[in-house]
Amino acid sequence: MNRRAAFLKSHAFLASLFLETKKVVGKLSEDMTGQSRGKDASQILSEKFREYMTRDQNMQTHNVNRVEFFKTVTERASEVFGSLYLAYYS
């Protein structure tokens, strides 16, 4: 892989990572109504995201949500990279 392709692939991965994070955080924030109890919303949301990504995880297996999260990220990144690569090299 040349440098330009590596650059496009890393951008595709990061864009996909941020999009999926936004999607998951959006769903988690919908469930937050009335849960502040002295904490700010960002603190509660970060705790919820951490729990979402680590619930029932142990040393032998990853959390199901984490596996699906990164599967979605990498699949989307591959699609985005393919489009970027074709657009750039066509």
Q: CA–CA separation, 19 vs 4, rounded Å?
A: 23
Which residues lie closer than 8 Å to 19 by C-beta, 6 or more apart?
Answer: 76
Confidence check: pLDDT of 36 > 70? no
Q: What is the pTM of this model?
A: 0.81
Q: Phi, psi at residue 5, to the nearest 5°?
A: -65, -40
Average pLDDT over the chain, rounded to an integer: 88
Quick: pLDDT tens for 66-85.
Answer: 999 999 999 999 999 988 77
Rounded distance, CA 42 to CA 57, Å?
23
So where are the chain's domains? Answer: 3-89
